[in-house]
Amino acid sequence: MNEAVRALEPKALWNHFADLNAVPRASKKEERVIQFIKEFGEKLGLPTHVDEAGNVIIKKPGTKGKERMTPVALQSHLDMVHQKNNDTNFNFDTDGIKMKVDGDWVKADGTTLGADNGIGVATIMSILESKDIPHPPLEALFTIDEETGMTGAFELKGGLLDAHIMLNLDTEDDDELTIGCAGGVDVTATGKYASEAAPQGIKGYRLAVKGLTGGHSGTEIHLGRGNANKLMNRILLENEGTASASLPSRAVASGTRSHGKASPASACLRTRCRPSPRTSKHYAIR
């Protein structure tokens, strides 16, 4: 069954992919694939290192005339998502992925294919093995557990790589180069407050920024859409201490999911006077 895949061009790439897909490699169960890629590097006679986390690093000198060029790291992850259809009889702990060629597509028979990121791993394997592709010194970095926590990448220690350029081969498009990406960070901030009664003549308001389109922080960040958090804080800052809306105390809440660009945000304010029509008009944003 996998023979049809092995016959595809470029043969080196598809054969490495088929070899890799014969090895079970669920996230957090990567012992066998770590061993597989370690043996691959050692068989080629290349310096091969497995770090404490289980990441594998294989270094290959630059080809003739390119030995002194800046080293480049090529990165991909060894683990894959193991999932199968309900009616598929398959044991991910022991079975290799059964692949087929369907028109222009390589598919798996009733399971996930492991192209994420197996095709990246196979690409790097092909370059490490090649004798006819000119390249600078290479540092192949195969990380573990990308799919369920990125623990391999997080636990990668400094000092193992010399490269200043890294190409991440984990992408969805084969005809695009991405030279940057949105970062993400989770912040948990906690604080205490003491409540107090509002003084006489003070009114409470809830100010809301809502109805924005929202979007994904990774794939739609470049579309210039409004971020309710930013808009809300801009409104609060610009009006702080002004006659139209003095804001002696406030609380801001917003956001729904991680990776989401905040679409609703609200703030509780108290003020002696109503926000002026100018304020409400100025911020009538959709």
Q: Name the residues that contact Zn ion, by CB under 5 A.
A: 116-117, 170
Spatial separation of the C-alpha atoms in residues 119 and 76, rounded to whole Å: 9
Q: Is 18 exposed, middle or buried (0-12, 13-18, 19+ CB in 10 A)?
A: buried
Q: C-beta of 76: minimal distance to Zn ion in Å? A: 8
Q: C-beta of 82: minimal distance to Zn ion in Å? A: 14
Q: C-beta of 130: minimal distance to Zn ion in Å? A: 23
Q: Which is nearer to Zn ion, 117 or 227 (CB)?
A: 117
The single-letter DSSP state of residue 257 is: S
Instruction: Please check whether residue 66 is in contact with residue 135, taking contact to mean a CB–CB distance below 8 angstroms.
Output: yes
56-60 vs 138-143, strand pairing mode:
antiparallel
Q: C-beta of 117: minimal distance to Zn ion in Å? A: 4
Q: Which is nearer to Zn ion, 47 or 218 (CB)?
A: 218
CA 272 to chain centre: 47
Candidates 76, 77, 50, 71; CA nearest to 138 is 71
Q: C-beta of 69: minimal distance to Zn ion in Å? A: 28
Catalytic residue among 30, 139, 145, 146: 146
Instruction: Please check whether residue 121 is in contact with residue 76, taking contact to mean a CB–CB distance below 8 angstroms.
Output: yes
The single-letter DSSP state of residue 136 is: -
Q: C-beta of 233: minimal distance to Zn ion in Å? A: 34
Alpha-carbon dihedral sign for residues 8, 14, 19, 21: negative
Q: Which is nearer to Zn ion, 51 or 170 (CB)?
A: 170
The rounded radius of gyration (Å) of the Cα atoms in the chain is 27
Q: Which is nearer to Zn ion, 169 or 267 (CB)?
A: 169
Q: Which is nearer to Zn ion, 75 or 229 (CB)?
A: 75
Residues forming a β-bridge with 265: 209, 254
Catalytic residue at 173? no
Q: Which is nearer to Zn ion, 170 or 205 (CB)?
A: 170
Instruction: Please check whether residue 58 is in contact with residue 48, taking contact to mean a CB–CB distance below 8 angstroms.
Output: yes
Catalytic residue among 30, 79, 139, 145: 79
Q: Is 245 exposed, middle or buried (0-12, 13-18, 19+ CB in 10 A)?
A: buried
Helices (H) and strands (E) in the chain, counts: 7, 12
Residues recognised as catalytic: 79, 146
